[in-house]
Each structure stands twice: as C-alpha cells, then as structure tokens.
Amino acid sequence: MAPNQILTAAQMRSAEQRLIDGGETVESLMERAGAGAAEWIWRLSGGRAVTVLCGPGNNGGDGYVIARVLAARGCDVQVVAPIAPVTDAATTARARWNGTPVQRASGEVFVDCLFGTGLARPLSDDLAHSLSDLALAHETRVAVDLPSGVHSDTGALLNDHLPDYDLTLALGAWKCAHWLMPVSAKMGERRLIDLGVGEGSSDLALAQPPRLRGPAADEHKYSRGLALVIGGEMIGAAVLAARAAQHSGAGYVKLLSEHSHPDLPADVVHIDGDLEEALADERLNAVLVGPGLGRGDLARHVVATVLGHDRPTVLDADALAILSPELVPSDPSRILITPHAGELLTLCKAFGIVREGKVEQALALAEASGMTVLAKGPDNVLAAAGKATISPPAPQWLSTAGTGDALAGIATSRMACGETPSAAALTAVTVHAEAARLAGPMFSASGLIASIPEACGSFL
C-alpha cells in the first residue's frame, strides 16, 4: 500500500482495474472492503445496534457486506435500501446478505453506504432527506469511503444540510475530498482500509511530518542561516514574522524597517538602512516581503527590488496583491508564495488561471509562475512542479489575525536554514499546526509564536 497517495475518482477506478487485471474480482475487493469496514464499525459499536443505508452502486454493495459480517458476529443490524442494487457485485452482495431491508430505522450506529466515488450529481431531495433523517436518528455516524453527497475530487458539498460523521473509512486509498474543505470538516476521524492498491500515477499526496535537525557542534549564527524580514507600512506584521522566524531555526534574523516597534525583542536585529545594501549581504540566506508592506508605489518598488536579487524569497500578504507575471524573475524556483483563499483568487486572475478547486488552482499557479505555491487556510495545499501535497488539518484556533505572518516567518527561517521552498513550506505548516495545538484555545499570534520552539522540538 502507498498510504500517502491521494487519488482522484478516475485514478481510483484505474487502480481497481489494475487489481482486477491482476486476478482480483470486484466481488473479492468488495468483500475485503466490507470486512475491513465492518471491523472498525464492530469496534466502534461496542454491541450497539447498527443501521446501514445502502445505495445502488458498489458503495451500497460494501454496505451489504458490512451488514452480513456484523450480523454473523451477533450484531443487531438493519439495512435501509431506498434504491435496489444496479451493479453485479452489489446485487451479489445483497443476495449473500440474505435479509429484508426496512423502510426506516433509528438507533445507535449509522453507516452511510449510499454513494462513494461514483456519485455523479447532487442527491435527489428524497435521498438527501433519507440520509439526513437517518443520520439524525442515530448517536454515532460512520461514512464508508466518503460521506454521500460530496464531490470526491474537489471536496465540494453537492447538497445542503449533509450530516457530520464521527468516523470516515477510506477504501483502498485516500481521495481528495478526505483532506479538502469543506467536506474534510465533516469526516470526523479518518482511517484508511488497505485493499492492496499499489502506488499509482498520482500527483497528489498527504503531507508527512518533517524531520528537523539541530545545529551541528561547530555551527555559528551565520552558518545556521541569516533571514531578512522587510517591514512596511504596518510594522507589527513584520515583527510577528521576524519573531516566528527567530524561533524556527535561523541563527540570525534581521528586520529592515524605517519604523521601530515597542514589541520588537532585543534579539531581532532592527536595521534602518538601504534595501539594496541589505540584499547585497552575501551571508543573506532568505528574504521575506509582504506582511504589513502596503500596496502603494513604494511597496511595488520593494517587491520588484527583492525579486531582482537572486535570494531564496517568501512572498506573502501585500506582496501577493502586487505580484504579476511581469515581476516573475528568470529563476522563480527559489520563491515561495503563501496565499490565503482571497489572495489565491487575486493571483489566479493576475496569471489568467481559470480552474475549479484549490488543488487545480494551486497547481496551475505553480505552473504559470514557476514558483512554489502554498495555498493556506483550513486546508493547506502545497503545489510545485506538477505535484501537490495536502497537509492534515490544523486547529481552527489559527483563524486569528497575524498567524499567517507567523507562518511566513517560519517558512523564511527554514529556507534560511537551507530547505527548499517546498520543504520549508511543509515544515512551516506542520510546525505552525503543532504550535497551535500546544498553545491551546483562544491564543493570539504572540501565543502561537511562543509555542514554536516546543513545536519544533516535536520534530527534532
């Protein structure tokens, strides 16, 4: 199994076909999927009654296998089947279940096997009502493969008022919807059931935690990495970024700004000099520009000047409102851009990109600009050179002002330490999420930054 790959519905069908070409049958795969799901549901149910909602396709077929396996273990199981099976495998699974569906059921554990990756259009009103009524009538809800009513490739909700689940059991491989908003917020816990699907031709993967290394015995402040954060009209944002950078591995962080700030710690070196001169420092390993920069002529000049030098660079916030195809340097591969959803839309317009879905947009922007794109938010999509990575969800307490500045500071620090833009972005997202967990609820950006050293410690 390749547990990190994320497949589209079409890639999943090809993977299934490869297994069938290798001697499996749809029925044998369905048995494995149903038995694997039943094992989880058995443990979760703890002897409670189970209701399985079965649809017409193979997701429904999985449901009949689950019902049969649970019943054989002595579980009290009922099946609701608003549409009869239409595939051979689902018809066989229903016959082997050998029971009679009921019209309605209420009880303890609800298992959604209405639709999986084959859902082609929104649920009809009748089916949507059956689904939400049954879900509401049960204490615990499990989705098999995917919650019904969602788009497997984009994570979009195709119907209003779809239920939330406690557990989602992905079959064979992760699908995009397991990790993309808004669907990912409905999944509850996620578990992957192995069906023997090998490595496919997927360009999409689930991010893995980074491994950080501490300084070598002979390291000094410059060899650990010198980062430059460029301030602008709102100096507070750059101060947050510089403080975050300082706690993320770089040996030396400088803040270039004509303004001072009362919260600037003594260990961030404040310089009030010439930008060209600061950029000309040969020891400089990475630059951040954008947080609090402003969007006027001076800001444009600053962004153009930074991009005119060949330093590894992070562009965030206001710099993203300024960025356009004309400003892209000849070697854009050293640049990381970190747009939130609004900035991603602005950039797509600026670069003439017309695509649906965050993954597609991030990939297209990376291709058009040649830069590494971290499309951040409740789901984080990293795209570079035709490949994309989605990070597991971070605490929603991050939805507070200044946390993006901190993220940009962490990424800049990691690039100053020598990581590539992609590696730095993945490290930054993971450390940021861990710092948020450690900071607990209701933190501000400063509280988040205070937790960064301990968060980094988790990955050393």
Ligand X SMILES: NC(=O)C1=CN([C@@H]2O[C@H](COP(=O)(O)OP(=O)(O)OC[C@H]3O[C@@H](n4cnc5c(N)ncnc54)[C@H](O)[C@@H]3O)[C@@H](O)[C@H]2O)[C@@H](O)CC1
Ligand Y SMILES: Nc1ncnc2c1ncn2[C@@H]1O[C@H](COP(=O)(O)OP(=O)(O)O)[C@@H](O)[C@H]1O
Which stretches of the chain bind ligand X, using CB under 6 A?
12, 16, 29-30, 33, 55-62, 86-87, 115-121, 123-124, 144-145, 171-172, 195
**Residue 112 binds which entry of ligand X, ligand Y, K ion, none, with Cβ cut-offs from 5 to 8 Å by kind?**
K ion
For 125-144, b where at least 16 C-beta lie within 10 A, e where not — what string?
Answer: eebbebbbebbeebebbbbb
Q: Which is nearer to ligand Y, 11 or 403 (CB)?
A: 403
What is the footprint of K ion within residues 252-271 (CB under 5 A)? none
**CB-CB neighbours of 340 under 10 Å:** 16
Residue 194 annotated as part of some ligand binding site: no
For 179-197, b where at least 16 C-beta lie within 10 A, e where not — what string?
Answer: bbbebbebbeebebbebeb
453 touches ligand Y by CB under 6 A: no
Residue showing tokens 């800049």: 412
What is the footprint of ligand Y within residues 411-440 (CB under 6 A)? 432
Specify whether the CB–CB gap between 13 and 145 falls below 8 A: no
Q: Which is nearer to ligand X, 61 or 402 (CB)?
A: 61
Residue 382 annotated as part of some ligand binding site: no
Query: Rounded to an integer, what distance in angstroms lies between the CA atom of residue 334 and that of residue 327?
Result: 14
Residue in 231, 402, 409, 421 binding ligand Y, rule: CB under 6 A: 402
Helices 26-45 + 9-21 axis angle, to 10: 120
Query: Rounded to an integer, what distance in angstroms lies between the CA atom of residue 99 and that of residue 71?
Result: 10
112 touches K ion by CB under 5 A: yes
Secondary structure letter of residue 76 according to DSSP: -
Strand partners, 220: none
Residue 290 annotated as part of some ligand binding site: no
Closest distance to ligand Y from the beta carbon of 110 (Å)? 27
Residue in 148, 248, 257, 422 binding K ion, rule: CB under 5 A: 148
Q: Which is nearer to ligand Y, 70 or 183 (CB)?
A: 183
Query: Rounded to an integer, what distance in angstroms lies between the CA atom of residue 442 and that of residue 448?
Result: 10
380 touches ligand Y by CB under 6 A: yes
- Binding residues for ligand Y, per CB under 6 A? 317, 340, 376-378, 380, 394, 396, 398-399, 401-405, 407, 432
- Binding residues for K ion, per CB under 5 A? 112, 144, 148
**Residues tagged in the binding site annotation for (6S)-NADPHX:** 58-62, 116-122, 145, 237, 292, 340, 405
